[in-house]
Protein backbone atom coordinates (compact mmCIF):
# COMPACT_ATOMS: atom_id res chain seq x y z
CA UNK A 1 0.00 0.00 0.00
CA UNK A 2 2.91 2.32 -0.50
CA UNK A 3 1.54 5.68 -1.48
CA UNK A 4 4.72 7.19 -2.84
CA UNK A 5 3.63 7.18 -6.45
CA UNK A 6 0.66 9.41 -5.77
CA UNK A 7 2.24 11.89 -3.40
CA UNK A 8 3.35 14.24 -6.11
CA UNK A 9 -0.31 14.82 -6.93
CA UNK A 10 -1.17 15.83 -3.42
CA UNK A 11 -0.70 19.40 -2.43
CA UNK A 12 -1.13 20.72 1.03
CA UNK A 13 -0.83 24.30 2.09
CA UNK A 14 2.79 25.33 1.96
CA UNK A 15 4.18 25.38 5.42
CA UNK A 16 5.48 28.76 6.03
CA UNK A 17 9.11 28.39 7.08
CA UNK A 18 9.61 27.07 10.55
CA UNK A 19 7.92 30.15 11.95
CA UNK A 20 5.40 29.84 14.74
CA UNK A 21 2.09 28.37 13.61
CA UNK A 22 0.29 27.52 16.86
CA UNK A 23 0.51 29.50 20.07
CA UNK A 24 -1.30 28.85 23.35
CA UNK A 25 -0.99 31.78 25.76
CA UNK A 26 -2.04 31.09 29.35
CA UNK A 27 -4.92 28.90 28.25
CA UNK A 28 -7.13 27.73 31.07
CA UNK A 29 -9.98 25.27 30.56
CA UNK A 30 -12.25 24.14 33.35
CA UNK A 31 -15.08 21.67 33.51
CA UNK A 32 -16.95 22.66 36.66
CA UNK A 33 -14.46 22.54 39.50
CA UNK A 34 -12.00 20.53 37.41
CA UNK A 35 -9.23 22.73 35.98
CA UNK A 36 -8.07 20.64 33.05
CA UNK A 37 -5.65 23.11 31.48
CA UNK A 38 -3.96 25.49 33.85
CA UNK A 39 -2.55 28.65 32.21
CA UNK A 40 -1.03 26.47 29.50
CA UNK A 41 1.64 27.97 27.24
CA UNK A 42 3.05 26.21 24.24
CA UNK A 43 3.96 26.84 20.64
CA UNK A 44 4.36 24.68 17.55
CA UNK A 45 6.47 25.83 14.61
CA UNK A 46 5.23 25.51 11.09
CA UNK A 47 5.94 22.15 9.46
CA UNK A 48 6.84 20.41 12.71
CA UNK A 49 5.46 17.11 13.95
CA UNK A 50 4.70 17.35 17.63
CA UNK A 51 3.44 14.51 19.80
CA UNK A 52 1.55 15.03 23.05
CA UNK A 53 1.98 12.35 25.68
CA UNK A 54 0.74 12.15 29.24
CA UNK A 55 -1.56 10.21 31.53
CA UNK A 56 -5.23 9.65 30.87
CA UNK A 57 -7.20 12.74 31.80
CA UNK A 58 -4.21 15.07 31.53
CA UNK A 59 -5.97 17.21 28.90
CA UNK A 60 -4.51 16.03 25.58
CA UNK A 61 -7.84 15.67 23.81
CA UNK A 62 -9.00 18.94 25.31
CA UNK A 63 -6.07 20.73 23.65
CA UNK A 64 -6.99 19.32 20.24
CA UNK A 65 -10.68 20.12 20.75
CA UNK A 66 -9.82 23.72 21.61
CA UNK A 67 -7.78 23.97 18.42
CA UNK A 68 -10.62 22.49 16.41
CA UNK A 69 -12.92 25.05 18.11
CA UNK A 70 -15.10 22.24 19.45
CA UNK A 71 -14.58 23.87 22.85
CA UNK A 72 -13.54 27.35 23.92
CA UNK A 73 -10.97 28.33 26.54
CA UNK A 74 -12.14 29.93 29.78
CA UNK A 75 -9.08 32.14 29.87
CA UNK A 76 -6.14 32.86 27.62
CA UNK A 77 -5.79 32.93 23.86
CA UNK A 78 -4.93 30.56 21.05
CA UNK A 79 -3.41 31.74 17.79
CA UNK A 80 -3.04 29.83 14.54
CA UNK A 81 -0.89 31.40 11.85
CA UNK A 82 -0.93 34.66 13.83
CA UNK A 83 -4.75 34.80 13.85
CA UNK A 84 -6.67 34.56 17.10
CA UNK A 85 -8.77 31.44 17.00
CA UNK A 86 -11.62 32.36 19.31
CA UNK A 87 -11.02 36.09 19.71
CA UNK A 88 -11.13 39.09 17.43
CA UNK A 89 -9.44 42.44 17.78
CA UNK A 90 -12.05 45.21 17.81
CA UNK A 91 -11.10 48.78 18.55
CA UNK A 92 -7.77 47.64 19.99
CA UNK A 93 -9.44 45.18 22.37
CA UNK A 94 -9.70 41.40 22.24
CA UNK A 95 -13.28 40.20 22.26
CA UNK A 96 -14.75 36.71 21.82
CA UNK A 97 -14.91 35.95 18.10
CA UNK A 98 -18.12 35.51 16.17
CA UNK A 99 -18.92 32.29 14.30
CA UNK A 100 -17.78 33.71 10.95
CA UNK A 101 -14.28 34.46 12.21
CA UNK A 102 -14.01 31.07 13.91
CA UNK A 103 -15.10 29.28 10.72
CA UNK A 104 -12.50 31.17 8.71
CA UNK A 105 -9.57 30.35 11.00
CA UNK A 106 -10.75 26.74 11.41
CA UNK A 107 -10.34 26.14 7.68
CA UNK A 108 -6.62 25.88 8.40
CA UNK A 109 -7.09 22.98 10.77
CA UNK A 110 -8.05 19.36 10.13
CA UNK A 111 -8.72 16.71 12.73
CA UNK A 112 -8.87 12.93 12.72
CA UNK A 113 -10.66 11.31 15.65
CA UNK A 114 -10.28 7.99 17.40
CA UNK A 115 -13.77 6.93 16.25
CA UNK A 116 -13.39 8.07 12.58
CA UNK A 117 -16.66 10.10 12.67
CA UNK A 118 -17.34 9.58 8.96
CA UNK A 119 -20.73 10.65 7.60
CA UNK A 120 -22.50 7.25 7.62
CA UNK A 121 -25.07 8.16 4.97
CA UNK A 122 -22.50 9.28 2.40
CA UNK A 123 -20.27 7.20 0.20
CA UNK A 124 -16.50 7.49 0.62
CA UNK A 125 -16.13 9.95 -2.27
CA UNK A 126 -18.81 12.26 -0.90
CA UNK A 127 -17.34 12.09 2.62
CA UNK A 128 -14.19 13.59 1.14
CA UNK A 129 -15.74 16.11 -1.26
CA UNK A 130 -18.47 17.45 1.04
CA UNK A 131 -16.46 20.07 2.92
CA UNK A 132 -14.28 21.21 0.01
CA UNK A 133 -17.48 21.89 -1.99
CA UNK A 134 -19.56 23.44 0.79
CA UNK A 135 -16.89 25.20 2.85
CA UNK A 136 -14.20 26.04 0.29
CA UNK A 137 -16.52 26.45 -2.69
CA UNK A 138 -14.74 23.99 -5.00
CA UNK A 139 -16.68 22.70 -7.98
CA UNK A 140 -17.79 19.06 -7.79
CA UNK A 141 -15.19 18.16 -10.45
CA UNK A 142 -12.35 19.87 -8.64
CA UNK A 143 -13.32 18.29 -5.35
CA UNK A 144 -13.53 14.82 -6.92
CA UNK A 145 -10.17 15.18 -8.58
CA UNK A 146 -8.66 16.18 -5.27
CA UNK A 147 -10.41 13.29 -3.54
CA UNK A 148 -9.13 10.77 -6.08
CA UNK A 149 -5.54 11.88 -5.44
CA UNK A 150 -6.08 11.49 -1.73
CA UNK A 151 -7.76 8.08 -2.06
CA UNK A 152 -4.70 6.94 -3.96
CA UNK A 153 -2.50 8.37 -1.21
CA UNK A 154 -4.31 6.35 1.44
CA UNK A 155 -4.55 3.23 -0.73
CA UNK A 156 -8.33 3.21 -1.21
CA UNK A 157 -8.84 4.01 -4.88
CA UNK A 158 -11.11 0.98 -5.30
CA UNK A 159 -13.42 1.98 -2.47
CA UNK A 160 -14.71 5.39 -3.56
CA UNK A 161 -18.27 4.12 -4.08
CA UNK A 162 -18.70 2.29 -0.81
CA UNK A 163 -20.42 3.42 2.34
CA UNK A 164 -18.33 3.61 5.54
CA UNK A 165 -19.98 0.51 7.03
CA UNK A 166 -18.72 -1.51 4.06
CA UNK A 167 -15.11 -0.79 5.06
CA UNK A 168 -12.84 -2.11 7.80
CA UNK A 169 -11.93 0.18 10.69
CA UNK A 170 -8.49 0.76 9.22
CA UNK A 171 -9.98 1.67 5.85
CA UNK A 172 -12.50 4.00 7.49
CA UNK A 173 -9.72 5.72 9.37
CA UNK A 174 -7.77 6.18 6.14
CA UNK A 175 -10.87 7.78 4.59
CA UNK A 176 -11.02 10.09 7.60
CA UNK A 177 -7.39 11.07 7.00
CA UNK A 178 -8.13 11.75 3.33
CA UNK A 179 -11.18 13.78 4.32
CA UNK A 180 -9.14 15.96 6.66
CA UNK A 181 -6.42 16.50 4.03
CA UNK A 182 -8.98 17.43 1.37
CA UNK A 183 -9.35 20.82 3.07
CA UNK A 184 -5.59 21.36 2.67
CA UNK A 185 -5.22 22.39 6.26
CA UNK A 186 -1.98 23.82 7.58
CA UNK A 187 -2.37 21.75 10.72
CA UNK A 188 -3.46 18.14 11.07
CA UNK A 189 -4.65 17.09 14.53
CA UNK A 190 -4.58 13.37 15.26
CA UNK A 191 -6.20 12.07 18.43
CA UNK A 192 -5.27 8.45 19.12
CA UNK A 193 -6.29 7.58 15.59
CA UNK A 194 -5.30 3.92 15.87
CA UNK A 195 -6.60 3.08 19.32
CA UNK A 196 -10.03 1.92 18.15
CA UNK A 197 -8.52 -0.41 15.54
CA UNK A 198 -7.88 -4.14 15.60
CA UNK A 199 -4.14 -4.65 16.03
CA UNK A 200 -3.58 -5.95 12.51
CA UNK A 201 -5.05 -2.76 11.03
CA UNK A 202 -2.88 -0.33 12.96
CA UNK A 203 0.23 -0.59 10.79
CA UNK A 204 -1.58 0.40 7.58
CA UNK A 205 -2.87 3.61 9.12
CA UNK A 206 0.48 4.47 10.70
CA UNK A 207 2.21 3.85 7.34
CA UNK A 208 -0.08 6.40 5.69
CA UNK A 209 0.66 8.92 8.42
CA UNK A 210 4.39 8.28 8.13
CA UNK A 211 4.16 8.95 4.39
CA UNK A 212 2.29 12.20 5.02
CA UNK A 213 4.81 13.26 7.66
CA UNK A 214 7.73 12.46 5.39
CA UNK A 215 6.49 13.89 2.13
CA UNK A 216 4.34 16.91 2.95
CA UNK A 217 4.92 20.15 4.83
CA UNK A 218 1.82 19.80 6.94
CA UNK A 219 2.18 20.58 10.63
CA UNK A 220 1.09 17.63 12.76
CA UNK A 221 -0.07 17.64 16.35
CA UNK A 222 -0.52 14.11 17.43
CA UNK A 223 -1.79 12.32 20.53
CA UNK A 224 -0.77 8.70 20.46
CA UNK A 225 0.08 5.72 22.58
CA UNK A 226 2.11 4.26 19.72
CA UNK A 227 5.49 5.21 21.09
CA UNK A 228 7.51 3.75 18.21
CA UNK A 229 5.47 5.81 15.78
CA UNK A 230 5.94 8.89 17.96
CA UNK A 231 9.67 8.27 18.04
CA UNK A 232 9.77 7.97 14.23
CA UNK A 233 7.80 11.00 13.20
CA UNK A 234 8.16 13.53 16.01
CA UNK A 235 10.40 16.54 15.95
CA UNK A 236 9.29 17.27 19.50
CA UNK A 237 7.46 15.44 22.24
CA UNK A 238 5.52 17.32 24.92
CA UNK A 239 4.82 15.58 28.20
CA UNK A 240 1.66 16.77 29.93
CA UNK A 241 0.62 16.35 33.48
CA UNK A 242 -2.02 18.14 35.49
CA UNK A 243 -2.80 20.65 32.76
CA UNK A 244 0.76 21.77 32.05
CA UNK A 245 3.67 20.81 29.86
CA UNK A 246 6.14 19.42 32.37
CA UNK A 247 8.83 18.52 29.87
CA UNK A 248 9.47 18.77 26.14
CA UNK A 249 12.24 17.89 23.75
CA UNK A 250 13.24 15.70 20.82
CA UNK A 251 12.03 12.09 21.07
CA UNK A 252 15.53 10.69 21.74
CA UNK A 253 15.75 12.87 24.82
CA UNK A 254 12.23 12.36 26.17
CA UNK A 255 12.08 8.61 25.55
CA UNK A 256 15.67 7.74 26.53
CA UNK A 257 16.70 10.26 29.14
CA UNK A 258 13.85 12.41 30.47
CA UNK A 259 14.63 14.99 33.12
CA UNK A 260 11.38 14.57 35.06
CA UNK A 261 10.68 11.61 37.29
CA UNK A 262 6.99 11.89 36.31
CA UNK A 263 7.90 11.39 32.63
CA UNK A 264 10.06 8.40 33.54
CA UNK A 265 7.18 6.82 35.49
CA UNK A 266 4.69 7.45 32.71
CA UNK A 267 6.95 5.96 30.05
CA UNK A 268 7.78 2.89 32.08
CA UNK A 269 4.03 2.26 32.36
CA UNK A 270 3.31 2.60 28.62
CA UNK A 271 6.47 1.36 26.89
N1 LIG B 1 -17.07 17.74 28.03
C2 LIG B 1 -16.52 17.50 29.24
N3 LIG B 1 -17.24 17.66 30.37
C4 LIG B 1 -16.69 17.45 31.60
N5 LIG B 1 -15.42 17.04 31.78
C6 LIG B 1 -14.67 16.84 30.70
C7 LIG B 1 -15.17 17.05 29.37
N8 LIG B 1 -14.17 16.77 28.50
C9 LIG B 1 -13.12 16.41 29.24
N10 LIG B 1 -13.40 16.45 30.55
C11 LIG B 1 -12.45 16.15 31.64
O12 LIG B 1 -11.23 16.82 31.37
C13 LIG B 1 -10.12 16.04 31.73
C14 LIG B 1 -9.18 15.91 30.55
O15 LIG B 1 -9.82 15.15 29.55
P16 LIG B 1 -9.12 14.83 28.18
O17 LIG B 1 -10.11 14.05 27.40
O18 LIG B 1 -8.59 16.07 27.56
O19 LIG B 1 -7.91 13.92 28.66
P20 LIG B 1 -6.87 13.06 27.79
O21 LIG B 1 -5.51 13.49 28.22
O22 LIG B 1 -7.21 13.16 26.36
O23 LIG B 1 -7.14 11.59 28.35
P24 LIG B 1 -7.10 10.17 27.58
O25 LIG B 1 -5.64 9.80 27.47
O26 LIG B 1 -7.83 9.24 28.50
O27 LIG B 1 -7.78 10.34 26.26
C28 LIG B 1 -10.67 14.73 32.27
O29 LIG B 1 -10.68 14.82 33.66
C30 LIG B 1 -12.06 14.68 31.71
O31 LIG B 1 -12.92 13.96 32.55
MG1 LIG C 1 -7.91 11.80 24.94
Expressed in angstroms and rounded, the spacing between residue 5 Cα and the centre of ligand 2 is 34
Expressed in angstroms and rounded, the spacing between residue 130 Cα and the centre of ligand 2 is 27
Measured distance CA(248)–CA(116) in Å, rounded: 29
| CATH topology (fold) of 3-17+47-62+108-270 | Rossmann fold (3.40.50)
Could you tell me if the CB of 57 is within 6 A of ligand 1? yes
Could you tell me if the CB of 73 is within 6 A of ligand 1? no
How many Cα atoms sit within 13 Å of 164 on the Cβ side? Answer: 18
State what percent of residues in the chain have pLDDT above 70: 93
Query: DSSP of 183-232, one letter per residue?
Result: T--SEEEEESTTTTS-HHHHHHHHHHHHHHHHH---EEEEE-S-HHHHHH
pLDDT at 159 over 50: yes
State what percent of residues in the chain have pLDDT above 90: 82
Average pLDDT, the chain: 91
| β-pair partners for 24 | 42, 78
Measured distance CA(267)–CA(208) in Å, rounded: 25
pLDDT at 135: 93
pTM: 0.91
Residues 24-80 pLDDT 10s: 999 999 999 999 999 999 999 999 999 999 999 999 999 999 999 999 999 999 999
Q: Phi-psi region for residue 168, left (φ > 0), alpha (ψ -120 to 50) or beta?
A: beta
* 251-254 own/partner pairs: CB under 8 Å, 24+ apart: 251/51, 254/53
Amino acid sequence: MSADSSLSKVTVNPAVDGSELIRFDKVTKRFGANTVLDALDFTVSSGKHVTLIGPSGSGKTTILRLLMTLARPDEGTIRVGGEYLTHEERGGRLVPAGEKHVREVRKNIGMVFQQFNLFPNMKVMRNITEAPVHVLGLSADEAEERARGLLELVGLTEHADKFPTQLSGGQQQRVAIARALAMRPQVLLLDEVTSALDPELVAGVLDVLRDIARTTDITMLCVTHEMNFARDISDDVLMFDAGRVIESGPPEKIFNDPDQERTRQFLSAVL
